[in-house]
Chain A
């Protein structure tokens, strides 16, 4: 059984998605338990895989027993061994938290929604687990197409915003496919490890250079890296809270994983940092991404869009950290994949709870929330502290590694951008806190008792949120263990 974890990871959610859509016709109440069971299996397999990786190093799984380079192999090493549990657990927690809001928002579309949700998780887990460049493209499109479906079930403006995302996402995926095609021309292989073995003799080739640039542009489009970020804010803002809770924490982070995987495994640091002379320019782009994301977030008057622009800035953190070209920067980027997935989940679950109760996320409707929803807002404070980077929350530690990396690389602009971003986050979140502390104006001074009452979100939404908030602190406290036991082995020794 434990040898089959990499297959279970993808196959169980994939098949469950079909079963859910059939079950949805028979009885809608079956959909949720099946979805939870499927993601539960995926979460257990991913944790099991992480333990196997810690125990014996790399896990190689041959799909159908076909050896590479002909067959598709799933390679689980320390890098994706760390990302897999994050993806599956974030998806599971959000699924449980989203049950009530799905029933509230789309009572007649429960079956299709869960089916798309589980299928998307299958795609995301597959992207992280696979060791085959073309297989990655297919899973990328599975995750993207289901994502369009989920995002489009939202407010009135959601279909248009999603269509814009679809254009950009398709161009991104096509660019990646084109890059893989160039790699296939020069190496004749699609297996990542196999390609990495053949490439060193071909570093001079213009086709390899073109492949690398095209792949990178495609992946940046998909992760909304600065000049290519325009699709993200609208698409995430107008979607339902159940969909953003899955997509906002995971899609950008998984794409950053893909970028790091391409940089470290396929093209290797020797090519990316020593042979190409572009890392400085890309870190500068990241600097602009962080600053612009922060400034655009300041201009927003509703909570969800503000958080969407913070994601744009956070993508800048990770891309910049990965391209600093030293061990600390890369450690910070990988650690931030974990932390940012958790803290984005935390704040978007808070938005989900607020939308469930208040039916709005505009700033003017948030008044008095600290009294009305104390637990939700408590979790929001922890999530906000983590995004700002206050110890002992986990956001502090990844920012610390990123800043250390920036100093070691002598890239002080990146350091300044990180500090600027922290300051902007302070302004952003304390403005929200102030509004939420402020009591709404009431006409009936005589009997305020009606508005005094605590009106907290249901337990099924609150418990996952509090678990995530607690995890933010626990992960922060165990940062040393994560870095020394896992991330250290995820980065090749050639990168110092």
Chain B
């Protein structure tokens, strides 16, 4: 039992992202309202962003900005230990993923506006009933 608890606590970032992702996936599958589905999709994407950000983190490390760089009048050669700084690469990647997420959200909302204009509702079952009645 304590083993299980300690594994969960040691890898808590993974548990959080998986939980968030599954909540998002559940909303996309089970919800009837198109906007709620879009919110679920956004959560799903955000969970993956959190996952990437968390894998760059190191214990006791600081933000990856060099305080004393060249030309600041220090005589001694500056030594940079990678272990002192969090890994910036996943964070940089996620800048792109955030942009992609925003763009996807924008397209999805634009489509839902078109759907609302046409059917006057955003509930999926009502839209499907209307489509069936038109046939």
Which residues of A approach B to under 8 Å, CB–CB? 134, 137-138, 141, 145, 148-149, 152, 156-157, 159-160, 162-163, 166-167, 170-171, 173-174, 177-178, 181, 184-185, 190
* Contact between chains at A162 and B90 (CB < 8 Å): no
Give chain A residues whose Cβ lies under 8 Å from the Cβ of B28.
167, 171
Known: A163-B112, A167-B41, A185-B55. A156 touches B107 (CB 8 A): no
Decide: B55 and A171 in contact? CB cutoff 8 A. Answer: no
Is A163 in contact with B93, judged by CB distance below 8 angstroms? no
Q: Is the CB of B25 within 8 A of A141?
A: no
| Residues of B participating in the A interface, judged by any CB pair closer than 8 Å | 25, 28, 34, 37, 41, 44-45, 48, 51-52, 55, 90, 93, 96-97, 100, 103-104, 107-108, 111-112, 114-115, 118, 127, 131
- Tell whether, in the assembled complex, residue A163 and residue B34 are in contact, meaning their CB atoms are under 8 Å apart: yes
Q: Closest CB of chain B to A299's CB: distance in Å?
A: 15
Q: How far is the CB of B96 from chain A (nearest CB, A)?
A: 6
7 closest pairs, A vs B, by CB? A159-B114, A141-B100, A163-B111, A159-B111, A159-B115, A148-B107, A174-B48
Q: List 14 contacting pairs A-B, 8 Å CB cutoff, sorted by A.
A: A141-B104, A145-B100, A149-B107, A159-B112, A159-B114, A163-B111, A166-B107, A166-B111, A167-B28, A170-B41, A170-B44, A171-B44, A177-B48, A178-B51
Could you tell me if A145 and B103 are in contact, using CB atoms closer than 8 angstroms? yes
Q: A29 to B79, alpha carbons, bound, how many Å?
A: 60
Which of B51, B103, B115 counts the most chain A CB atoms within 10 A?
A: B115
With A and B bound together, what is the CA distance between A134 and B97 in angstroms? Answer: 10
Chain B residues near A177 (CB-CB < 8 A):
48, 97
Measured between beta carbons, the chain A residues less than 8 angstroms from B55 are: 181, 184-185
| Known contacts A167-B41, A170-B41; A181/B107 CB under 8 A | no
Instruction: Using CB atoms, name the residue of chain A closest to B104.
Output: A170
DSSP majority for the A interface? helix
Given A145-B107, A160-B115, decide whether A138 and B44 contact each other with a Cβ distance below 8 A: no
**CB within 8 A of B52: which of A141, A156, A181?**
A181
Known: A148-B111, A167-B28, A171-B28. A184 touches B90 (CB 8 A): yes
Given known contacts A167-B41, A181-B51, A184-B55, is B104 in contact with A145 (CB within 8 Å)?
yes
Enumerate chain B residues within 8 angstroms of A137, measured Cβ to Cβ: 97
Q: Report A-chain residues with C-beta under 8 Å of the C-beta of B96.
A: 134, 138
Nearest CB in chain B: distance from A55 CB, A: 35
In the bound complex, residues from chain B placing their C-beta under 8 Å from that of A170 are: 41, 44-45, 104
CB < 8 Å neighbour of A162 from B37, B51, B103, B111 = B111
Q: Is the CB of B131 within 8 A of A157?
A: yes
Separation of A9 and B115 alpha carbons in the complex (Å): 36
Least CB distance from A234 to B in Å reads 10
Given contacts A159-B115, A184-B90, A185-B55, 5 further A-B contacts (CB under 8 A): A138-B100, A148-B111, A163-B34, A167-B28, A184-B55
Q: Which residues of A contact B114 (CB under 8 A)?
A: 152, 159
Instruction: Give CA–CA (A141, B48) in the complex, Å.
Output: 15
| Contact call B52/A174, Cβ cutoff below 8 A | no
Report Cα–Cα, A12/B34, bound state, in Å: 37
Residue of A nearest to B34 (CB): A163
Instruction: Name the residue on A nearest B105 (C-beta).
Output: A170
Identify which of A134, A149, A160, A166 contacts B127 (C-beta below 8 A).
A160
Nearest B residue to A151 by beta-carbon distance?
A: B111
Closest Cβ neighbor of B55 among chain A residues: A185
Residues of A contacting B25 in the complex (Cβ-Cβ under 8 angstroms) = 171
